[in-house]
C-alpha cells in the first residue's frame, strides 16, 4: 500500500510539473493585457519557458497585442511551443522598434513549434506614402532554428521581408498565410539562405516581391502546394552578387499555382559575379500558371535598377534544371526565356510537357534562349527556344 501512495505522489508531482509548463503572457505572473504593449511580458514568459526542463508552451491568447520587438533566444532546455492565438501588431513608426532589422525573431532554438491561428501584423503603410522611410524590419526572423514547425499563422503587411530563414535546419512551414499589397517594396514572402532541409507546404503568399526566394547556401528545399500571387513569383536567387556564396543545391517546387505574378519560375544571377557560384539540381514540376509574366525564366543578366555592369558575364554555374508539366497562360508573348551566362553556359537543362498559351495582342507566343542547349520533350516549337544563338 505504501508503494501505491508513493506512486500516486510522484504522479501528482509530475502532473503539476506538466501543468506548470504553460506560460500565458496574460497571467498574473507576467501581466500582459489585450490592447497594450506586452514586450516585457512576452520576454519574461519566454525566459521562464525556455528555462523549463519540461516541454513548455508560451501562450498569447485571443485579442490584440502590441510589441516593440521580441528576439526570443535559445538554446532552451526542452521542446518549446509558442501558441499565438491573438493579433500581434508592430509599431506604425519604425523608430519605436527595439531593433531596426527585426520585429519578432527566434534564435538558436531547437524543437520549436510556432502555431495557433494568430497574426503578425507589421503595420507597413509605406506603400500609401511615397515619402515614407522604409526599414529593414522583418516580421518573423528565424536564425539558426532547428527541427521545428511553423504552422497556421498569418504574416500581414511586413515592413520588409515577411519571414527570413537563415542558418536553419529541418524546419517546416505549413498552412502559413502571407499578405501584403502588390505595390509594397521588398516584401518577399519567405526568404531562405544558408539553410538545409526547409519544407514549405500548403502555404498562400501574395506580396509586392518574390513569394519565395532562395539565397545562397539553400539546400534540400521542398515547396509543395504553394499558392503565389500577386508578387514576383518563385525565385532561386538572386545569386552571385557577393564573394564566398555557398552553392544552391537540391530544390523541388511541385504542385504550385501562380496567378497574376510578374514572373513565374525564375533563377536569377547577377552579371559580373565576384566569385564562382553553383546552382544545381533544381526541379519545377506540376505547376499551374494563370496570367503570369515570364512563366519560365533563367536570367543570368539580372540587374535591377542598373546597379551592375552588364558587360561582365555571370560566373554562377547553373546545371541540372528541369521544368516538367508546366501549364497555363502567359501575360507576355515570351513564355520561355533561358538566358544563360556566356562564360558558364547552363548545363543539363530539360523542359518536358510544357503547355503555355498567350492570348494577348503584343505578338505571337515565342521563346528566347542563349548559351544553353536544352533537352525538349513534348514542347511545342514556339516554346522550344525559337531564338537561340547557341544552337549547334
Q: Does residue 2 surpass a pLDDT of 50?
A: no
Catalytically annotated residue among 4, 191, 202, 232: 232
Q: What is the mean pLDDT of the chain?
A: 92
225: cell is 502546394
327: cell is 501549364
CATH of the domain at 36: 2.160.20.10
Total domains present in the chain: 1
For residue 301, being part of any structural domain is answered with: yes
Q: Does residue 120 surpass a pLDDT of 50?
A: yes
Could you confirm whether 232 is annotated as catalytic?
Answer: yes
For residue 200, being part of any structural domain is answered with: yes
Q: Does residue 134 surpass a pLDDT of 90?
A: no
Range of the domain at 282: 2-383
Using alpha carbons only, what angle is made at residue 188 by residues 237 and 170, rounded to the nearest 5 degrees? 70
For residue 391, being part of any structural domain is answered with: no
For residue 357, being part of any structural domain is answered with: yes
Question: What pLDDT score was predicted for residue 44?
Answer: 98
pLDDT tens-digit map of 175-234: 999 999 999 999 999 999 999 999 999 999 999 999 999 999 999 999 999 999 999 999
CB atoms closer than 10 angstroms to residue 134: 14
pTM of the model: 0.93
Asked if residues 41 and 67 have their Cβ atoms less than 8 Å apart, the reply is no
Question: What pLDDT score was predicted for residue 17?
Answer: 42
For residue 390, being part of any structural domain is answered with: no
Amino acid at each position: 500500500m505504501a508503494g501505491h501512495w508513493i506512486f500516486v505522489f510522484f504522479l501528482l508531482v509530475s502532473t503539476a510539473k506538466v501543468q506548470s509548463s504553460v506560460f500565458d503572457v496574460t497571467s498574473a505572473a507576467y501581466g500582459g493585457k489585450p490592447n497594450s504593449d506586452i514586450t516585457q511580458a512576452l520576454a519574461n514568459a519566454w525566459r521562464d519557458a525556455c528555462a523549463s526542463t519540461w516541454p513548455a508552451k508560451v501562450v498569447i491568447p485571443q485579442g490584440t497585442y502590441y510589441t516593440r520587438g521580441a528576439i526570443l533566444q535559445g538554446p532552451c532546455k526542452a521542446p518549446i511551443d509558442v501558441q499565438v492565438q491573438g493579433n500581434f501588431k508592430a509599431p506604425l513608426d519604425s523608430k519605436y522598434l527595439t531593433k531596426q532589422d527585426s520585429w519578432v525573431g527566434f534564435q538558436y532554438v531547437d524543437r520549436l513549434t510556432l502555431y495557433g491561428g494568430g497574426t503578425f501584423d507589421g503595420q507597413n503603410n509605406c506603400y500609401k506614402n511615397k515619402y515614407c522611410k522604409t526599414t529593414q524590419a522583418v516580421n518573423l526572423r528565424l536564425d539558426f532554428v532547428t527541427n521545428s514547425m511553423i504552422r497556421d499563422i498569418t504574416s500581414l503587411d511586413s515592413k520588409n521581408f515577411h519571414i527570413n530563414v537563415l542558418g536553419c535546419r529541418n524546419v517546416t512551414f505549413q498552412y502559413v498565410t502571407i499578405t501584403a499589397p502588390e505595390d509594397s517594396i521588398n516584401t518577399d514572402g519567405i526568404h531562405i539562405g544558408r539553410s538545409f532541409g526547409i519544407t514549405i507546404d500548403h502555404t498562400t503568399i501574395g506580396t509586392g516581391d518574390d513569394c519565395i526566394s532562395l539565397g545562397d547556401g539553400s539546400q534540400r528545399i521542398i515547396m509543395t502546394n504553394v499558392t503565389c500571387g500577386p508578387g514576383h513569383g518563385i525565385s532561386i536567387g538572386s545569386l552571385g552578387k557577393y564573394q564566398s556564396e555557398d552553392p544552391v543545391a537540391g530544390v523541388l517546387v511541385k504542385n504550385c499555382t501562380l496567378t497574376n505574378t510578374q514572373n513565374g519560375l525564375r533563377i536569377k544571377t547577377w552579371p559580373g559575379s565576384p566569385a564562382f557560384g553553383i546552382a544545381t539540381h533544381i526541379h519545377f514540376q506540376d505547376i499551374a500558371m494563370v496570367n503570369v509574366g515570364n512563366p519560365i525564366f533563367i536570367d543570368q543578366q539580372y540587374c535591377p535598377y542598373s546597379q551592375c555592369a552588364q558587360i561582365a558575364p555571370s560566373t554562377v554555374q547553373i546545371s541540372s534544371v528541369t521544368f516538367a508539366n508546366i501549364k497555363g497562360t502567359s501575360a507576355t508573348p515570351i513564355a520561355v526565356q533561358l538566358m544563360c551566362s556566356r562564360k558558364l553556359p547552363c548545363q543539363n537543362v530539360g523542359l518536358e510537357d510544357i503547355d503555355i498559351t498567350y492570348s494577348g495582342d503584343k505578338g505571337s507566343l515565342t521563346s528566347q534562349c542563349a548559351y544553353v542547349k536544352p533537352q525538349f520533350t513534348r514542347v511545342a516549337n514556339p516554346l522550344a527556344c525559337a531564338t537561340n544563338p547557341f544552337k549547334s
